[in-house]
Structures are given as structure tokens and as C-alpha cells.
Amino acid sequence: MRSSRLTFFLITLLTCSAAFASDTPHMAWLKAKCALCHGEDGSGNTPEGRSRGVPDLRSEAIQKLTDDELAKLITAGHSRMPSFKATLTREQVMLLVTYIRSLAKK
Ligand code: HEC
């Protein structure tokens, strides 16, 4: 009995991690990776953001960059901005670019 419960638990765990790795990632989970420094609204007004001097992602200086330039910066990192090359797929990076664009329109 105990072992079948354990199997059920493991299958649930595997299903959940597969969902995270799929092509339709949860936006909240993605945004959490960036919010530590950039804030949910992209303003960079967080303790970590202020100490690193992050730019306001809604500003014209950032918004005038092309989608490709933004994607490259997110993938490769820049100065005190960490690289996300190992942790994000191209699709996830493009979703974040779309998200950064949506911040400016508010
Ligand atoms: C550990 C803190 C930190 C995290 C986490 C972080 N950033 Fe940054 N980000 C920075 C800093 C610092 C800069 C300013 C880099 C510089 O000096 O040019 C920056 C800059 C940027 C820029 C502007 C381009 C540039 O380099 O000036 C974009 C776009 C950006 N971040 C997107 C993201 C996205 C999307 C995520 C989540 C995947 C993310 N950042 C996660 C710290 C962070």
C-alpha cells in the first residue's frame, strides 16, 4: 500500500515538472524569475533592483529596442543582469519580450 502511494506521488511530481517544461509556460512562473530585480510592473522598484540599478523596462530607452535585441539581452545577460541562456527556451524569452511590450502600453 505504501509503495503504491509513493508511485502515485512520483507520477504526480513528474506530470507537474513536465507541465513546467512544456511550450506553454505559466506566465507567473516566468515573471517571477524577473520580478526579483525588475518588479511585477517592470519599474525596477525593488530592493534588489535599486541596489543593482536596473532600468525601467517601460521606458522609451528599453521599448525602442527591437524584439530581437531584447531577446538577445535576456538570453545573454548584460552587466549586472544575469544570463538566462541555460534556464529559458527561445519561446519563453519571446513570451517575456511580449510581456515587456505590454508593460509600456499601460
Ligand atoms: C538578479 C537581478 C536581475 C534579474 C533576476 C533579471 N534582471 Fe534584467 N536587468 C538587471 C540589471 C542589473 C539590468 C541592467 C543591466 C545594465 O547595466 O545594462 C537589467 C536589464 C534588463 C533589460 C534591459 C537591457 C539591458 O541590459 O540594459 C531587460 C530587457 C531585462 N533586464 C529583462 C529581464 C528579464 C525578462 C528577466 C527575467 C527572465 C530579467 N531581466 C531578470 C537585473 C536582473
Domains of the chain: 24-104 (1.10.760.10)
CA dist 41 and 53 (Å) reads 16
Ligand 1 pocket list (CB less than 6 A): 33-34, 36-38, 48, 52, 54-55, 57, 62, 70, 73-74, 78-82, 84, 96, 100
The CA 38 to ligand 1 mean position distance, Å, reads: 7
Give the per-residue pLDDT at 76: 96
The CA 18 to ligand 1 mean position distance, Å, reads: 27
Identify whether the C-beta of residue 53 lies closer than 8 Å to the C-beta of residue 37: no
Give the per-residue pLDDT at 19: 47
pLDDT tens digits, residue range 33-79?
899 999 989 999 999 999 999 999 999 999 999 999 999 999 999 89
DSSP string, 66-96: -HHHHHHHHHH-BTTBPP-TTT--HHHHHHH
Residues recorded for the chain = 106
